[in-house]
Chain A
């Protein structure tokens, strides 16, 4: 059973066209929700950690929010360099292992 589901699988935007990526989770006892960015052939790069519903974090053009069932990664006025796969992951209970979704591949055209 999928514990972390990301949508859409792929997203194409024009430069400056804002949008949101979704991460829904079904784990009980959420410990933390994490967003990473991954470029092809590279390791995931940490973006945000969210711990409780209502929490928001921002970094440049990215803003992550968390509810009891899902998280959104909002991208405002994206640039071509924002093109990457964005991964969502959760930890639960006393476990530190990250459970990842399959990711959203974002392409921003100039």
Chain B
């Protein structure tokens, strides 16, 4: 158990809908990262927050957005969903070192 929690575990929705994925980092970790894992692309970095502020952006679509709240939990919002957005979404956290600890992931299926 990494100490990072993610909800929900599974999400099934329809094209055009909007969903919110939630992540709670390890106790004391200030950095939260979001990654997408699909069969063809592997694990891809989406975005990083540090203590509530956006720190780095990767291959994140404009339809996607994220935020980190004062209690350090983070949410990833995905809107106007397409079939190709079906993937595993992972949250990771770190604090004081380079090592990122990953949560169990949310499996998103868009029908």
| Size bin of chain A's contact surface | 20 to 34
Given A91-B98, A97-B48, A97-B56; A45-B2 close (CB under 8 Å): yes
Which chain B residues border A91 with CB–CB below 8 Å? 98
Given A34-B99, A46-B101; A100-B42 close (CB under 8 Å): yes
Given A100-B43, A101-B42; A42-B104 close (CB under 8 Å): yes
Who on chain B is nearest to A43 by CB?
Answer: B102
Asked if A32 and B103 make an inter-chain contact with CB atoms under 8 angstroms apart, the answer reads no
Partner of B102, one of A31, A41, A44, A99: A44
A103 beta carbon closer than 8 Å to chain B? yes
| B25, chain A: closest CB distance, angstroms | 13
Which chain B residues border A101 with CB–CB below 8 Å? 42
Interface bits B21-43 vs A (CB < 8 Å: 1, else 0): 00000000001010100000011
Asked if A43 and B33 make an inter-chain contact with CB atoms under 8 angstroms apart, the answer reads no
Which chain A residues border B35 with CB–CB below 8 Å? 98
CB neighbors of B among A52-110 (8 A): 87, 89, 91, 95-103
Which chain B residues border A49 with CB–CB below 8 Å? 98-99
| B41, chain A: closest CB distance, angstroms | 9
Asked if B56 and A98 make an inter-chain contact with CB atoms under 8 angstroms apart, the answer reads no
Q: Which residues of A pack against B, CB within 8 Å?
A: 31-32, 34, 36, 41-46, 49, 87, 89, 91, 95-103
Given contacts A96-B100, A98-B33, 19 further A-B contacts (CB under 8 A): A31-B98, A32-B98, A34-B99, A41-B88, A42-B104, A42-B105, A43-B90, A43-B104, A43-B105, A45-B2, A46-B2, A46-B102, A49-B99, A87-B43, A89-B43, A95-B56, A96-B31, A98-B35, A98-B92
**What are 19 pairs between A and B in contact, CB < 8 Å?**
A31-B98, A34-B98, A41-B105, A42-B104, A43-B102, A43-B103, A43-B105, A45-B2, A45-B102, A46-B101, A49-B98, A87-B43, A89-B43, A95-B56, A97-B33, A97-B48, A97-B58, A98-B100, A99-B45
